[in-house]
Amino acid sequence: MKSIKGDIDAAVKITSIDFCPVPMRLTTPYTIAYETINDVTNIFLQIKTSKGISGYGCAAPDQAVTGETVFQALESFETVINSTLIGSDPLRAAALMEQLAISLPNQPSVLAAVDMALYDILGKVAGLPVWKLLGGYRSFIKTSITIGIINVDNTIREAKKFIDQGYTCLKIKGGKDVEDDILRINKLRDYIGPSIELRFDGNQGYTLDDTLYFLKQTEEAALELIEQPIPKGEMGLLEKITNTASLPIMADESLMNLRDAFRLARKDVVDMVNVKLMKVGGISEALQINAVARSAGLEVMVGCMDEAALSIAAGLHYALSRPNIAYADLDGHIGLQHDPSKHSVNIKQGILSPTDQPGLGIILDDEWDCY
């Protein structure tokens, strides 16, 4: 494996942009409330500079979540990203990202890829990992591991496998059938006992009545939180659930940008928010969202899509930076076949930590070369 790092001095300029679609199949396909995922295509980005240092980023476009297709993202890299960045100073990231946000208002994963690549360059300039540049509150964090919508027996089988690997927090997907979800949660809690944390993600699949019924019927399962049970546009109903529920309610799909964060925080619509770099446009925007959340006393979870470890590394560095980023759901790289960046984060018994390299600490397989 080769470590991606280098030296740099003044007057650095961006000399070229390289990008490449990377298709990856899932070892185990999974189902959520509105689709089944078998494979995914990420787009790897390399920003080269005049001083021989490169920054790496990753986009995970998903039409259902980010509103982008892979084709649209590739076209934006070819046109807007190239014309905006080449010849620019990569250390003026705020100016560059502001310009790109105006040009690409509906392509958050493309913005996220550029943003993380610029942070990667900045970290290498400073000779420091990004998580320390951002504040360095903690050096590792526990992640949940996700189980899709499957029957009770298979849910228990998957849970046992992950617990045997050292995971102590399980996130269970649901939202298609409330009765089945209740059965799965209660049977699973009976099997795993009280020591394993359980989170539930409804992925917008429930009505208000479904949600309240689910909460009542799973009280004894002691769920840690419930994530986005109802459609994202139903903010009033989400607030009603939050005011009724005895456990924390988290917004996911309802939080797509800084404006959403303000609306959720202003009216105490939820207790927690799930910040995904692919949804919000990168680390810079995520930091602003986190500030809004903290001002309202909301805890933050860093989530992810089906993302290569390159992208998960960026989410991890963000997760480590601030005290109110208390939760991580950064398992999108686990089970991705042929991920050329798989060594870019460390995971042991459900604990994520960064590599010891500057920047985002990206490490690419020796045999892989897209550029």
What element of type H or E holds 288?
Answer: helix 283-295
CA distance 202 to 183: 14
CA distance 126 to 239: 43
Cα 250 to Cα 142, 299, 314, distances in angstroms: 18, 9, 22
Of 68, 181, 197, 201, the catalytic one is: 201
Q: How many CB atoms lie within 10 A of CB 369?
A: 9
CA distance 264 to 323: 20
Radius of gyration of the chain (CA): 20
Of 62, 68, 197, 227, the catalytic one is: 227
219 is catalytic: no
227 is catalytic: yes
Give the full edge-to-edge strand order of the sheet including 345-348: 141-142, 351-354, 345-348
Of 51, 124, 276, 279, the catalytic one is: 276
**Long-range contacts, stretch 28-32, CB < 8 angstroms, 24+ apart:** 28/335, 29/148, 30/146, 30/147, 30/148, 30/149, 30/150, 30/173, 31/148, 31/149, 31/150, 31/173, 31/176, 32/148, 32/149, 32/173, 32/175, 32/201, 32/203
Are 119 and 130 contacting, i.e. CB atoms less than 8 angstroms apart? Answer: yes
Residues 197, 335, 109, 113, CA torsion sign: positive
As given in the structure block, the two tokens for residue 222 are: 């002691």
- Residue with the two structure tokens 């927090």: 169
232 is catalytic: no
Of 62, 210, 252, 329, the catalytic one is: 252
164 is catalytic: no
276 is catalytic: yes
Of 48, 173, 279, 342, the catalytic one is: 173
326-359 residues labelled b (16+ CB within 10 A) or e (exposed): ebbbbbbbbbbeebbbbbbbbbeebebbbbebbb
Q: Which residues are catalytic?
A: 173, 201, 227, 252, 276
